[in-house]
Structure 1
């Protein structure tokens, strides 16, 4: 049996592992979906998603602490100050991730009538899709055409 080269690399500085520390819990992506869809207030998110109050509080705190969301104060007449949650630049950079997850879900998990939401290019109205391409500009349509290799931050496995 051939040993995969990746077994020789340490994983303590893996950026996928670090990203999943921020995004890996189901409700985190649901919260991001809500904010991307313009639902920015705690009570609206809770009502729309059914996320338990403490879970939503924890997820929003994590996303704010990680710099994915920022809190913006607002006050309705006669009410105490509250906060809306807005995407930061770091958060906006996650949009292709959400589109890719939706694309996968649409392919394998949608109801027979089709997906409940579509993503469209604001400029022309055409559907938006995520595609993989290399730095030289070549489309890479098949996952088997991609290979991982050591990056500049690779460390030897202990």
Structure 2
């Protein structure tokens, strides 16, 4: 089954999901954060079929999230590493892990903790912060049209703002 591409959608969440929204993809990125570099290691740690792994790795390389850092003499990728763009996914992975630990723990409890490397202390829960540095709750944020918004997007967001004003 062919999936629908979100790459042309105006929503930045949809465009992001077009690249990283398939479940194997974020698990591959997680493995890369944990130090997995080689195809066989990804396959062993994830239990993913080789053809699916090849497709996802290629997509992550094409999308600029992973880079091939060494190749065999016949041109096969030997090692994959996160690019700066890939490293910027760290807060998303931390937020997912923290959410999962809170809302979907195993019966035996949390299986992994996200900690500061030097101290071993748990990192603080990911929160949305204002530009001035104070935490924001979902009710404190909204969406506004940016310079690239279409007229349909602007109209939809204006309607959203009207609904929010009526609620307040």
**TM-score, with normalisation over the residues of structure 1?**
0.83
Which of 1 and 2 has higher RCO (CA within 8 Å, sep 6+)?
Answer: 1
Q: Say what the alpha-carbon RMSD is for the aligned residues.
A: 2.1
Deviations 1:6-46 (A, max 9, x none): xxxxx832211110001110000010011111111111111
- For 2:128, the equivalent position in structure 1 comes to 132
Return the TM-score normalized by structure 2: 0.78
Structure 2, unaligned runs of 5 or more: 1-7, 154-168
Query: Matches of 1:113 and 1:122 in 2, distance apart?
Result: 24
Instruction: Name the structure 2 match of 1:14.
Output: 11
Larger % of helix: which? 2
CA-to-aligned-CA distance 1:66-116 (integer Å, 9 cap, x gap): 1000001166xxxx9651110000000000000011111111111132221
Aligned length: 144
- The residue number in structure 2 matching 1:7 is none
Unaligned runs of at least 5 residues, structure 1: 1-10
Taking the TM superposition and a 5 Å limit, the aligned residue runs for 1:1-158 are 12-73=9-70, 82-128=77-123, 129-140=125-136, 142-157=137-152
